[in-house]
Structure 1
Amino acid sequence: MNRIPICEVIDQRPLTDNDEPSSVFRPLSGDECSVALTHVRPLQAPLADCGPSRWFDGTDRALVFVLGEADCVVDRGLEAVVAGMRPGELREFCVGDGRGGRVTGRVRLSAVRKTAGGAGWRGDDRLKLAEAARHKDLGNRLYGQGRFVDAFHRFNRAARAVLFVRDVDAVRGDWDAMYAVVCNNMAACQLRLGNYEHAYRLSCKVLAVDPRNVKALVRRCQASAELRMFEGALVDAVRALDIEPGNAVAERYRNVAARGVDDQNARYGDMVKKMFA
């Protein structure tokens, strides 16, 4: 399976200078962080899958970002370093892109400001569902750009927001719909990345709450076929076509699964003949 890198913090260590931390509290997800970056040097270039991030180009600069909103692996690495710091603290770091590329530098956490986004995460259940919808929409945009790893992380954040809902029964319809969508979207990312076991499990989660979800049936069918579980793939393809006749992907994988079942039955028949010959 292809590993989906959350972030890669290779090394970090605090540096002593004249500025002492101004607070004992570290930033939380949703907090706005002001940082100063210096001594930034790419060790191996080009860095892979870094999306729009350009802070690692060797230029000293000030950055302001909301913790937890990064959309590339290098930015998530920087966030992981900052999340362990206190305001005023200076650290030296080395983060990677998950594929051998590395960038080093120093970061000072200048200030932390609480934002509405952080409060919303701890707010009522409707706000959590709204937060899930926001991450889903951002993930859809990344998916459309072909950035399947970064899209997966956005969908995963949406799923976390859904799972933090306390009174599920009070928002059952909206909860089921959002949970099905984000699990389906994560399954689509895993299929793109060749992680068929994970795609299969995510599709099963969708079908547990929505047994007639055609996208989940088709994606589980695709994953099953790639895993050579042709009988299950055929069942899912037929079910999907019963619900949505003419679905092109379901038709294609129904044919793939049918050929796979025939081939497996033929090999089994040959093996039985040899056993009793």
Structure 2
Amino acid sequence: MKRIPVCEVIDQRPVVDKDLPRPSSVFRPLTGDVCHIVLTELRIPSSTMNCGLFEEFRDDWRPIKAHIKVGEADCTVDRGLQAVVLEMRPGEYRDFCVGDGGEGRISGRVFLSYVDKTSRTSWRDDDRLKLTAAARHKDAGNQLYGQGRFADAFHRFNLAVRAVLFVRDPDAVRADRDAMYAVVCNNMAACQLQMSNYEHAHQLSGKVLAVEPDNVKALVRRCRASAELRMFDGALADAVRALEIDPGNVVAERYRDVATRGVNDQNARYGDMVKKMFAA
């Protein structure tokens, strides 16, 4: 099963230097805050892939001013830098080394100059704002999926589903909540299928079907995951149900045939085993 790294922080440590000013605040950034940073001493090997925020600075040795909005990072190295900054206070310096989820590494020094705080009271109390945030993360995930960045898309969809799950009064927004939950879990299942994580794809499709039992995409995705896991009885049942709802669905037809052959082969092997048992 392919690991989906949220981030890879290899090392981080506060810079201890008596000549540097002390941090100006005891408060650390939170999700939604905009952090204004300065990056220096960057080392970005040519082997490092998908450098995100760092890409345009690959060959630039000058101090770099940038800003990041906590919770909006869309690649492994950016999420790593975000994790480092979340541990900092305004006015603090840190040396860091983050990975790209593979063999690539980026290291340097980051200075958190100041933080624009975002009000969370309205978001915490307003379920409509949570659904709006979920829709925004979903749209960002769809763009990443279209670029073939399935792990990064999965993380965006995961942020969307978490916003949905934090709804305080589900009954008041039941229809919109369930619809968003189903779409996002379906998209997460699609990501897992692309990365051959069939057990997770099966579970996520099941979550969709618990809310929308006749969701054809979820039926087909669970069918495919079941077939890859050699759970042919379940795959066949999902394929048949999907074709009842959407006759002519090409993917459902293909996996129905795969599941039928799998069930027949398993039954034949079981029959042979029983014969051998009684023959002995």
Q: Please name the residue that 1:63 is paired with.
A: 66
Q: Do 1:41 and 1:56's aligned partners in 2 also have CA atoms closer than 8 Å? A: no
One-letter amino acid of the structure 2 residue matched with residue 237 of structure 1: A
Task: Tell me how far 1:48 sits from its aligned partner.
Answer: 2.9
Determine the C-alpha separation between the residues in 1 that align with 2:196 and 2:59.
34
**Structure 1 residue runs without a partner (length 5+):** none
Q: Please name the residue that 2:46 is paired with.
A: 45
One-letter amino acid of the structure 2 residue matched with residue 54 of structure 1: E
Determine the C-alpha separation between the residues in 2 that align with 1:271 and 1:45.
57
One-letter amino acid of the structure 2 residue matched with residue 13 of structure 1: R
Task: Tell me how far 1:56 sits from its aligned partner.
Answer: 5.7
TM-score, normalised to structure 2, is: 0.95
Determine the C-alpha separation between the residues in 1 that align with 2:57 and 2:259.
47
Change (3 A) 1:52 1:41: closer
Identity %: 71
Q: 2:84 aligns with which of 81, 84, 90?
A: 81
Moved over 2 A (4+): 48-53, 118-123
Task: Tell me how far 1:49 sits from its aligned partner.
Answer: 4.0
- Give the 5 Å matches for 1:163-174: 163-174=165-176
1:269 paired to 2:271:
yes
SS in 2 for 1:30: coil
Instruction: Write out per-residue CA displacement over residues 152-171 of structure 1, whole angstroms, 9 at most, x where no aligned residue.
Output: 01000000100010000000
Task: Tell me how far 1:50 sits from its aligned partner.
Answer: 3.9
One-letter amino acid of the structure 1 residue matched with residue 70 of structure 2: L
Determine the C-alpha separation between the residues in 2 that align with 1:175 and 1:131.
12
Count, aligned residues: 275
Q: Please name the residue that 1:5 is paired with.
A: 5
Change (3 A) 1:83 1:201: same
TM-score, normalised to structure 1, is: 0.96
1:16 paired to 2:19:
no
SS in 2 for 1:10: strand
- Give the 5 Å matches for 1:92-171: 92-115=95-118, 121-171=123-173
SS in 2 for 1:20: coil
**Structure 2 residue runs without a partner (length 5+):** none
Change (3 A) 1:149 1:56: farther
One-letter amino acid of the structure 2 residue matched with residue 33 of structure 1: C
The alignment yields a C-alpha RMSD, in angstroms, of 1.4
Q: Please name the residue that 1:223 is paired with.
A: 225
SS in 2 for 1:76: helix
